[in-house]
């Protein structure tokens, strides 16, 4: 979502006359797109301020802007802060702090006038400057209604707002017509997408499975991916839709967050481990070759060794293809911030390493199933003397081939499996 927002920020800036600078030293304007999910991300922004101050001392015209996901309390702190290092009478902070939803007003804030191209209410209507020529992120909604106790998204992005079906389909069609091969549908919780479409003056409710079918039916040779999904409303209709639509890839990120029911309650995650495991069983029953990743937090306040071991057992049982393992970081303004962060940093690190070790083993087992197979790959970039791309199951594949293959579907024979990827060779089609 931050990547997609940055593409819209770039679009706004270019529409009002700015051009990309080759580096920060040459910039007249620096925009920081923040993510507040973890405190560490905000801490990195604090670390940027002294550098920006030095740049401003050399370039008096330089302006800095902060946007993205920023809590109200952080906005006040970033607006003005006494400079460190004992300097007198000098304050460091951003010249402008703007909610991401107010992005259309950026022209007014910087130039003093509202660009006619941006006279719109919803920032998702801004046409992005896509950074890739073959893979595009298409937001279908923004905001969140779930209020997980560790998460700030409902406070920074607000409640859920679904984008119109017509706008989504129009954007996807235009991308496919331009030759794009991979479409990511984005939302804090795509499962709860709910919009309306007018058909012969009648309103028709469109949920996420129906939207997926509509995107799948767009003519063209392309893959459809989506993120992120909440287990609580992953319906049987959604499972059958994924199984029945050829363009929807066999990859799913299904965050568990913890393998213990008591911790899940503290996290305000309204499902049990048994319900989650049953859901995974249904998904794998209808989509046997699905690649499954998850998000999990170790060291949540009060997490005992026994509760952590429940998460380890879940990892061993589910056998994830990939997992994004986070060490708990308290965020001001969330319910979890009121809990005592009583797990030492070293213990969080130990638990992280244990889960990573289990994941390394199960990921290798999953990847070994690909050895000897010829599979579809979308090359994304060149690294050294190798091309690197993704499979339908979002596996990373490394192989040798000409650079002009980037952004085109090809066949690769898998020669070797590694824990975090695959090695293969280009398969020449007869």
pLDDT in tens, 261-285: 999 999 999 999 999 999 999 999 9
Q: What is the pLDDT of residue 83?
A: 39
Instruction: Give the residue among 236, 238, 239, 271 at the shortest CA–CA distance from 255.
Output: 271
Give residue-wise pLDDT tens across range 193-241. 998 776 656 678 999 999 999 999 999 999 999 999 999 999 999 999 9
Neighbours of 43 (CB within 10 A): 10
Q: What is the pLDDT of residue 119?
A: 55
Give residue-wise pLDDT tens across range 368-393. 999 999 999 999 999 999 999 999 99
3-state secondary structure 191-242: HHCEEEEEECCEEEEEEHHHHHHHHHCCCCCCEEEEECCCHHHCCHHHHHHH
Between 3.40.50.9100, 1.10.10.10, 1.10.3080.10, 2.40.50.140, what CATH number should domain 374-426 receive? 2.40.50.140
Instruction: Give the residue among 306, 313, 311, 338 at the shortest CA–CA distance from 327.
Output: 311
Residue 87: pLDDT over 60: no
Neighbours of 374 (CB within 10 A): 14
Residue 117: pLDDT over 70: no
pLDDT category of residue 99 using cuts at 50, 70 and 90 = confident
Residues sharing a CB contact under 8 Å with residue 86, sequence separation 6 or more, in sequence order: none
Average pLDDT on 129-138 reads 96
**3-class SS of residue 284:** helix
Work out the end-to-end distance of the chain between its first and last CA atoms, rounded to an integer number of angstroms: 40
Residue 81: pLDDT over 90: no
The segment with the largest mean pLDDT, out of 1-15, 44-58, 65-79, 240-254, is 240-254
Q: Where in the chain is the domain with CATH 3.30.750.210?
A: 132-249
Q: What is the pLDDT of residue 80?
A: 64
Tokens 């090359």 map to which residue?
Answer: 379
Residue 430: pLDDT over 60: no
Q: How far is CA 239 from the centre of its chain?
A: 21
CA distance 304 to 325: 17
Q: Where in the chain is the domain with CATH 2.40.50.140?
A: 374-426
The mean predicted confidence, pLDDT, of the chain is 91
CA distance 1 to 337: 24
The DSSP call for residue 330 is -
Q: Does domain 132-249 have CATH number 3.10.290.10?
A: no
Q: What is the pLDDT of residue 120?
A: 59
Q: Does domain 283-369 have CATH number 3.30.2040.10?
A: no
CA distance 147 to 154: 6
CA distance 156 to 149: 14
Q: What is the pLDDT of residue 429?
A: 56
């Amino acid at each position: 979502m931050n990547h997609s927002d940055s593409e819209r920020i770039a679009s706004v800036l270019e529409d009002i006359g700015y051009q990309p600078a080759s580096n920060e030293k040459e910039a007249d304007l620096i925009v920081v797109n923040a993510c507040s999910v973890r405190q560490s991300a905000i801490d990195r922004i604090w670390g940027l301020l002294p550098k920006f101050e030095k740049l401003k001392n050399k370039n008096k015209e330089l302006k800095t802007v902060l946007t993205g996901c920023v809590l109200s309390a952080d906005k006040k702190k970033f607006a003005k802060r006494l400079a460190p290092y004992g300097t007198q009478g000098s304050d460091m902070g951003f010249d402008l702090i703007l909610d991401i939803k107010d992005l259309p007003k950026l022209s007014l804030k910087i130039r003093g006038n509202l660009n006619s191209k941006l006279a719109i209410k919803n920032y998702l209507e801004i046409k992005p400057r896509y950074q890739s020529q073959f893979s595009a992120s298409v937001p279908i909604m923004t905001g969140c209604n779930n209020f997980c106790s560790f998460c700030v998204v409902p406070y920074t992005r607000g409640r859920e707002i679904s984008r119109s079906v017509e706008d989504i389909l129009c954007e996807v069609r235009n991308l496919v017509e331009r030759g794009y091969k991979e479409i990511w549908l984005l939302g804090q919780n795509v499962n709860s997408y709910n919009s309306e479409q007018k058909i012969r003056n009648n309103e028709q409710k469109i949920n996420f499975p129906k939207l997926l079918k509509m995107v799948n039916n767009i003519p063209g040779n392309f893959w459809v991916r989506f993120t992120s999904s909440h287990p609580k409303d992953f319906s049987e209709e959604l499972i059958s839709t994924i199984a029945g639509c050829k363009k929807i890839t066999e990859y799913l990120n299904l965050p568990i967050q913890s393998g213990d029911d008591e911790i899940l309650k503290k996290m305000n995650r309204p499902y049990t481990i048994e319900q989650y495991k049953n859901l995974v069983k249904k998904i794998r029953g209808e989509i046997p070759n699905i690649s499954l990743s998850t998000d999990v937090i170790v060291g949540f306040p009060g997490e005992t060794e026994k509760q952590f071991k429940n998460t380890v057992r879940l990892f061993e049982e589910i056998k994830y293809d990939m997992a994004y393992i986070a060490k708990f970081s308290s965020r001001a303004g969330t319910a979890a911030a009121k809990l005592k962060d009583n797990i030492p940093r070293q213990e969080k690190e130990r638990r992280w390493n244990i889960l990573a070790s289990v994941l390394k083993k199960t990921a290798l087992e999953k990847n070994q199933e690909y050895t000897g197979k010829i599979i579809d790959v979308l090359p994304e970039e060149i690294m050294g003397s190798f091309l690197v791309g993704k499979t339908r199951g979002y596996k990373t594949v490394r192989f040798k081939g000409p650079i002009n293959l980037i952004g085109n579907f090809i066949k690769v024979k898998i020669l070797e499996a590694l824990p975090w990827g695959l090695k293969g060779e280009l398969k020449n089609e007869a």
